[in-house]
């Protein structure tokens, strides 16, 4: 699987982890990846995620969300970030 976030003008980040119901952090942005267990990849807007062929992964879901820190149009100062929609992928 390849995840690619485009259109950001700030410093890109990718969050990968457990999906959650959207939690608003400001009027313009919501987090959809459980933050306590997320893998945060600073400086990346594209990520290849290999899915190994293991039966216990069937039915499991992973959430991926992009962020652009320092980009106008999202959360106001002091956050000044914009979050993408959350993409949830379920292994079948």
**pLDDT single digits (tens) 11-62:** 888 999 999 999 998 888 899 999 888 999 898 888 898 888 899 999 999 9
pLDDT at 91 (0 to 100): 92
Q: What percent of the chain has pLDDT over 90?
A: 42
pLDDT at 90 (0 to 100): 95
Kind of pairing between the strands at 61-69 and 87-90: antiparallel
**Distance from the Cα of residue 64 to its chain's centroid:** 4
The token pair at 51 is: 């899915």
Please tell me the total count of domains within the chain: 1
* Residue that wins the pLDDT comparison between 60 and 81: 60
Predicted confidence (pLDDT) at residue 64 exceeds the cutoff of 90: yes
Domain extent for 54 = 2-90
């Amino acid at each position: 699987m390849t995840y690619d976030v485009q259109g950001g003008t700030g410093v890109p980040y990718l969050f990968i982890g457990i999906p959650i119901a959207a939690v608003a952090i400001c009027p313009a942005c919501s987090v959809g990846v459980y933050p306590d267990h997320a893998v945060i990849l600073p400086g990346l807007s594209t990520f290849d995620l290999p899915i190994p062929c293991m039966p216990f992964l069937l039915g499991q879901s992973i959430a991926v969300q992009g962020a652009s820190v320092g980009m106008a149009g999202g959360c106001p100062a002091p956050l000044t970030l914009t979050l993408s929609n959350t993409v949830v992928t379920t292994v079948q």
